[in-house]
A and B are shown apart, each in its own frame.
Chain A
């Protein structure tokens, strides 16, 4: 039972502004990062995803019973939003660069080399995608714990609070998650990837 999360949700349902402030402060940035790692959407679309996720969560606060951590629940809603966005994008015809100023700018930056070396940028993106793929193959609580620690910069104590476990248990969970990730990463690296084409 995630008592602290349940209390926060009860506070929001009772109309406590402090509870809403804490909810937004704690989860908006983390959800934005969660969505960014799982998609190549631009900033505006990511905002929509986070906004829709939080709005859907607020509409369904009565359904949160504290059986899972609040972030796990939000991440689940966010994953569904991302899947919807992907389905929508798949139905849309390909757009020209003229109709997509953000992409055009990105391509121009890559072409001019003003931001980063284009190949280095592509390699970095490829590695990010490979890491995410390896994470997604792990049990979801391992992936969320690693993202919280290395992506969101949460302390072990904060992760423990989020997951409703002791700091020692959180430390141990992180060690197991890293071990599982290493194994998964080794498997992933033995297969050909975009970042490292097979020779």
Chain B
């Protein structure tokens, strides 16, 4: 008969010491969230590019009960959709989710039902969406809608987004057809873009509109009001309105730059890239000398800046040219290298 052996103290001490040693020597500092998100963006872009280039593998055949459940769910969705009130543009595509960070967007429908929307999925008229993390929506008519974490929006029509709460940013580049007649409705009033970039924040009691470029028309009970670039408008539910200057660049707008759409530089002129950067950073471009201006007009870019935010992209692209830049007094000053 074998009795219980007492624990071998020396062996267990050695085991514990080994574990302590491995714990302390193998620990590494955690990645910060910004770096993690930046790498993710680049890797996800690569994944999407690879998907677009490769033929899709044959779909995995679903089991019969999964197929039946999917069919039943589809019938339920169709039935509910038909029973909802209809409109001429219901279901029409306003744009698509281009990128989400930290939790993405939820699509709500029929009371408590919701599902996560992923990059590449369409946004349709009548969709109600809430952002669990920042999200970029590219608009089918041109331009982008950037949604801050915590915002809830409803796509009321192809030409109107209702901001129920939170913060969004609308970028309608000045080309004639861009964004069409997009407006943002809030509980207090409506903002119509007039070829512009603007940010709008809404609450039950007040709305704040910051115009970065161009002009917007604010319409409420008190009538229409034009608000120009560099102006912040505050409107309360009681009908009071105040305006004050606001910078068009700097930290107030960093969240929008982090959601900038990708800009394909391959084969584009440096001037076009600088104009894009200028809009994303809210800083005009100024050439310090004629040589710099000519060089920017003649330089054709190659490569990619996918996954880089605008300021990083500016630094990396100019480093490959004969030009350099400085950020000063709200402008980007471009010099030719001595």
Interface residues of A in 28-80 (CB under 8 A from B): 28-29, 32-33, 36-37, 43, 47, 50-51, 54-55, 58-59, 61-62
Least distance between A149 CB and chain B CB atoms (Å): 8
Chain A residues contacting B47 (CB-CB under 8 Å) are 12, 20, 58
B43 pairs with A24, CB closer than 8 A? yes
B60 pairs with A181, CB closer than 8 A? no
B36 pairs with A13, CB closer than 8 A? no
A51 pairs with B43, CB closer than 8 A? yes
B27 pairs with A61, CB closer than 8 A? no
A14 pairs with B57, CB closer than 8 A? yes
A195 and B51 CA atoms in complex are apart in Å by: 49
Interface centre among A36, A149, A150 (most CB of B within 10 A): A150
Least distance between B114 CB and chain A CB atoms (Å): 16
B289: interface (CB < 8 Å): no
Contact of B25 among A28, A33, A58, A132 (CB under 8 A): A132
Contact of B42 among A43, A51, A181, A182 (CB under 8 A): A51
A2: interface (CB < 8 Å): no
Interface residues of B in 6-38 (CB under 8 A from A): 14-15, 18-19, 21-31, 35-36, 38
Contact of B35 among A12, A43, A54, A62 (CB under 8 A): A43
Least distance between A48 CB and chain B CB atoms (Å): 9
Main secondary structure of the interface of B (DSSP, over half): helix
A51 and B56 CA atoms in complex are apart in Å by: 24
Chain B residues contacting A131 (CB-CB under 8 Å) are 21-22, 25-26
A147 pairs with B26, CB closer than 8 A? yes
Instruction: Using known A-B contacts A51-B39, A55-B43, A58-B47, determine if residue A150 contacts B23 with beta carbons closer than 8 Å.
Output: yes
A33 pairs with B28, CB closer than 8 A? yes
Residue of B nearest to A132 (CB): B25
Interface residues of A in 123-175 (CB under 8 A from B): 124, 127-128, 130-132, 146-147, 149-151
B18 pairs with A181, CB closer than 8 A? yes
A127 pairs with B25, CB closer than 8 A? yes
Least distance between B196 CB and chain A CB atoms (Å): 32
Contact with A along B107-121 (1 / 0, CB 8 A): 000000000001110
Contact of A32 among B23, B31, B50, B118 (CB under 8 A): B31
Instruction: Using known A-B contacts A55-B42, A59-B46, determine if residue A10 contacts B57 with beta carbons closer than 8 Å.
Output: yes
Chain A residues contacting B51 (CB-CB under 8 Å) are 13, 15
Least distance between A146 CB and chain B CB atoms (Å): 6
A58 pairs with B35, CB closer than 8 A? no
A169 and B25 CA atoms in complex are apart in Å by: 25
A24 pairs with B44, CB closer than 8 A? yes
A29 and B28 CA atoms in complex are apart in Å by: 10
Chain B residues contacting A149 (CB-CB under 8 Å) are 22
A18 and B44 CA atoms in complex are apart in Å by: 12
Instruction: Using known A-B contacts A10-B57, A20-B47, A150-B19, determine if residue A37 contacts B39 with beta carbons closer than 8 Å.
Output: no
B28 pairs with A36, CB closer than 8 A? yes
A96: interface (CB < 8 Å): no
A17: interface (CB < 8 Å): yes
Residue of B nearest to A125 (CB): B25
A178 and B31 CA atoms in complex are apart in Å by: 27
B118 pairs with A17, CB closer than 8 A? yes
Residue of A nearest to B97 (CB): A17
A10 and B54 CA atoms in complex are apart in Å by: 13
Chain A residues contacting B118 (CB-CB under 8 Å) are 17-18
- 12 pairs from A and B in contact (CB 8 Å cutoff): A13-B54, A17-B119, A28-B43, A29-B36, A37-B26, A37-B28, A47-B35, A58-B47, A124-B24, A151-B28, A178-B22, A182-B14
In the A-B complex, list the 8 residue pairs whose CB atoms are closest, starting with the nearest.
A151-B26, A17-B118, A131-B25, A150-B22, A33-B28, A36-B28, A54-B43, A55-B46
Chain A contacts to B: CB under 8 angstroms: 10, 12-15, 17-18, 20, 24, 28-29, 32-33, 36-37, 43, 47, 50-51, 54-55, 58-59, 61-62, 124, 127-128, 130-132, 146-147, 149-151, 178, 181-182, 185
